[in-house]
């Protein structure tokens, strides 16, 4: 029997996501044995620094890419929001699967919403995007660094280290922890990260055989939305050092794309809301980046 090896991070969520893809591949390709190769990444190990200070999103994918280069794995499964907008030479996103809930959620034992939280109450997040949007609307709150996997972050909340934390809805749902969400933050209040809620499957660009096996997993609507969102990020620098959000929705043959960039303290936030042809998502993403530049994005982001 032929074998396909999936490189994955070791966290419970990453293993769930990789097994989810493995199950689909087993159903599609019964002649293959599908195995997981769990690996530890630098992003999982450096828990006392913000990602933008430690080296960026690539910290979550480099070890998985090395496994593919060395022939130890054939593909890797990622949360798209953790994947840099520019992949290293020789790699490709072979499939983007159907999106889960793209929203963020508030989790708290004390408060039902951010608006209910009193001055100086603490909110945990490691995301510049989240912290800037919270600071814009609720400058009285104390935003504090929170790193670690979903279970680690929830445990810190339970120990009373934070009054509330903000997580991705998709991660909670995939782990069967959906009931832990106190409030769902709508895009109007907390615009998601590019690709949030979607899974991406990466392989070597030269592995057309692997890409062909993965092709049935690709979701057309999600792919168009995520390609538009990631183009905004790529055009404006493409790293987690940017307080940047982008979220696209497919409506008939049109894409609605909302995007923002912000100063890290939330004192300056610029937004755009555009519509374009679903068949040209990258063009829409470039238009959105251009509109943000026109409003001063480069000055805010120091580009």
Q: Where are the beta strands (DSSP E) in the chain?
A: 2-9, 32-39, 75-79, 91-96, 104-107, 122-124, 142-144, 164-168, 183-185, 199-204, 244-251, 254-262, 269-277
Q: Is the pLDDT of residue 293 over 70?
A: yes
Q: Is 82 a catalytic residue?
A: yes
Calpha distance 287→117 (Å, rounded): 37
Count the Cβ atoms, other than its own, within 10 Å of residue 174: 21
The pTM score is: 0.91
Of the candidates 7, 64, 58, 10, the one whose C-alpha atom is nearest the C-alpha of residue 35 is: 7
Single out the catalytic residue among 74, 82, 101, 104.
Answer: 82
Domains of the chain and CATH, by start:
1-97+198-218 (3.40.190.10), 104-185 (3.40.190.10), 219-296 (3.30.160.40)
Segment 121-171, tens digit of pLDDT: 999 999 999 999 999 999 999 999 998 999 999 999 999 999 999 999 999
17 alpha carbon, distance to own chain's centre: 13
Q: What value, to the nearest 5°, has the Cα angle with vertex 77 and ends 30 and 189?
A: 130
Segment 6-51, tens digit of pLDDT: 999 999 999 999 999 999 999 999 999 999 999 987 655 444 544 4
């Amino acid at each position: 029997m032929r074998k396909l090896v999936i490189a994955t991070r070791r966290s419970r969520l990453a293993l769930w996501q990789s097994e989810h893809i493995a199950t689909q591949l087993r159903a599609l390709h019964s002649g293959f044995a599908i195995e997981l190769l769990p690996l530890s990444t630098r992003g999982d190990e450096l828990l006392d620094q913000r990602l933008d200070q430690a080296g960026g999103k690539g910290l979550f994918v480099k070890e998985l890419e090395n496994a593919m280069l060395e022939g130890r794995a054939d593909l890797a499964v990622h949360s798209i929001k953790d994947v840099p907008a520019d992949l290293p030479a020789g790699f490709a996103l072979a499939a983007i699967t159907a999106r889960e809930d793209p929203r963020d959620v508030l989790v708290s034992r004390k408060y039902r919403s951010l608006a209910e939280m009193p001055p100086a109450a603490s909110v945990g997040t490691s995301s510049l995007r989240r912290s800037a949007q919270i600071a814009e609307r609720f400058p009285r709150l104390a935003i504090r660094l929170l790193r670690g996997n979903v279970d680690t972050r929830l445990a810190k909340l339970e120990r009373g280290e934070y009054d509330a934390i903000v997580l991705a809805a998709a991660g909670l749902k995939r782990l069967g922890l959906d009931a832990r969400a106190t409030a769902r933050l709508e895009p109007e209040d907390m615009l998601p990260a590019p690709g949030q809620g979607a899974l991406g499957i990466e392989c070597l660009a030269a592995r057309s055989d692997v890409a062909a096996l993965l092709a049935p997993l690709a979701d057309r609507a999600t792919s168009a939305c995520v390609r538009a969102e990631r183009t905004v990020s790529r055009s404006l620098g493409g790293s987690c050092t940017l307080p940047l959000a982008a979220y696209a929705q497919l409506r008939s043959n049109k894409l609605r794309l909302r995007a923002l960039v912000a100063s890290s303290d939330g004192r300056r936030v610029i937004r755009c809301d555009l519509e374009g042809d679903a068949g040209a998502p990258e063009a829409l993403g470039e238009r959105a980046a251009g509109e943000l530049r026109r409003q001063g994005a480069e000055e805010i982001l120091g580009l």
